[in-house]
């Protein structure tokens, strides 16, 4: 059995998606190019769908209760491990978006965030129980789709 439960990964994914949604919403509002506004607005909607989908998945998963004497240590460890991913921090998506000066900078940040999500989920997939790996793989596929959309947009318009 892995050290992390898939339910914990999905819970972190919900937070990542919320921050992604907030980031995309704010950069879309501030875009100068209509085509940039269009893709960021579309990605905001995609993040909203992912929040709903991941929340629904989370409701069907068995909640993991660690065997440690101090269960909060387990959850603190999970948060520390995920802490390198900028979108796991509450309200970080909005904070980062406020510092964006250009559409190109927003696009580059978005590409970086999507790559970070793929790396995070891929790494975590190695430590979750086999029974939860399909869920994490689904998260990876969705983030790969976002990354492809952003890269295609960059090639076409930037």
| Chain position carrying tokens 């790494």 | 123
Residue 19 covered by a domain: yes
Q: Determine the distance from the C-alpha atom of residue 9 to the mean position of all C-alpha atoms in its chain, rounded to a whole number.
A: 11
Q: What is the pLDDT of residue 1?
A: 42
CATH code (residue 120):
1.20.1260.10
d(C-alpha 139, C-alpha 81), whole Å: 18
Helix (H, G, I), strand (E, B) or coil at 47: helix
Judged against a pLDDT cut of 80, whether residue 70 lies above it is answered with: no
Residue 151 near residue 111, CB atoms below 8 Å: yes
d(C-alpha 140, C-alpha 89), whole Å: 20
pTM of the model: 0.78
Residue range 86-125, pLDDT digits in tens: 566 777 788 889 999 999 999 999 999 888 888 877 877 7
Residue range 41-58, pLDDT digits in tens: 999 998 998 898 888 877
Residue 63 covered by a domain: yes
Domains contained in the chain, number: 1
Distances, alpha carbon 75 to alpha carbons 3, 24, 84, 90, in Å: 11, 28, 15, 16
Q: For residue 67, give its domain range.
A: 6-157
């Amino acid at each position: 059995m892995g050290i992390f439960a898939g339910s914990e990964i999905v819970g972190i994914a919900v937070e990542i998606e919320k921050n992604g949604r907030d980031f995309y919403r704010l950069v879309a509002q501030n875009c100068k190019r209509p085509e940039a506004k269009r893709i960021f607005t579309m990605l905001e909607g995609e993040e909203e769908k992912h929040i709903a989908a991941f929340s629904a998945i989370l409701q069907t998963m068995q909640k993991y209760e660690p065997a440690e004497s101090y269960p909060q240590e387990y959850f603190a460890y999970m948060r520390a491990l995920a802490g390198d991913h900028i979108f796991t921090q509450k309200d970080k998506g909005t904070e980062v978006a406020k510092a964006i000066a250009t559409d190109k900078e927003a696009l580059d940040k978005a590409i970086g965030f999507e790559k970070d999500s793929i790396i995070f989920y891929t790494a975590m997939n190695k430590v979750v129980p086999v029974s939860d790996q399909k869920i994490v793989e689904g998260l990876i596929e969705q983030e790969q789709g976002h990354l492809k959309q952003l890269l295609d947009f960059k090639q076409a318009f930037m």
